[in-house]
Amino acid sequence: MKQIVVHEVGPRDGLQMERQVVPTDTKEDWIRRTMESGVDIVQVGSFVHPVKVPQMADTDELIRRLLRDKRSPVILAGLALNKRGLERGLECGVEMFALGASASETHSIKNTGMASMDAVHRIIAAGQEAMAAGKKVQVSVQSAFGCGFEGPVSEVRVLEMAAAYVEAGLFSISLADTAGHAHPAQVERLFSAVLELDPKVECTGHFHNTYGLGMANIMAALRVGVTSFETSFAGLGGCPFTKVAAGNVATEDFVNALQLQGLRQNIDLGSLIRVAGDVARYFDREMPGCVYKTGSIQNRESV
């Protein structure tokens, strides 16, 4: 088995739902400590309009700060949805672009203002431009397992979108369970089909825990060969443009599950637990994650 990639999305997918805008210095502290824990990728923020998502207005500044004295192998990523977002990412030096389009027409229009396949064509152009500039690129199919507005989403459409990415030479593909509707059998079926599109395809799973199936879906994806997963510190997050938003699988819960299976022992789980605890204290509420409250089974590390 390839090493499982842990992609922290708390600073982006986690914070974008919060009404309270977190100061840049606080975000930087959380991100630096998460980087030091040994995860592989941190999605620092998104290059979106600051009026629509004010929590992400400092993404460019955060990337610049983190790159200024960076000695860690952790990849700094940012999400972009259009050409202006791509330009901002290139200007500030982001190392990896996360680019996505939704398989749900309703979600696509609410999120990007355009139909699904129009968004795919725009994302493909942005992805090819980013790769030409020497950047890593991950493309995604959002609402791949269902939509809070429309309900079931056509698996044929999901595979058509993934095939369009592959045909364009974009082989790092995420299937995102934006509304949290996925279940394990569906996860196995869809990821298996995407992995069969081309031997060069590498898949990422992104699961929301709306109906309590997030971790079960991760394990289902692992069974069929998915090797990268996006999770959020303390289980924070959700898409602001879906009908019923709920948090992501917590990074510390996921790492705890991996380590119980003898995987990713090189990640400092205690450090992740402390970051999650600080996030919970900052927002002054209990977060969806479990392990930051209980400590790990193996080390009995308390909060």
Phi, then psi, of 72 in degrees rounded to 5: -90, 145
Cα 133 to Cα 95: distance, rounded to the nearest angstrom: 10
Which letter does DSSP use for residue 22 in this model?
A: P
**Token representation of residue 238:** 């959700």
Contact between residue 77 and residue 9 where contact means Cβ atoms under 8 Å apart: no
The residues that are catalytic are 239
Which residues touch 11 (CB under 8 Å, ≥6 apart)? 27, 30, 31, 42, 43, 44, 45, 62
Q: How far apart are CA 197 and CA 49, in angstroms?
A: 34
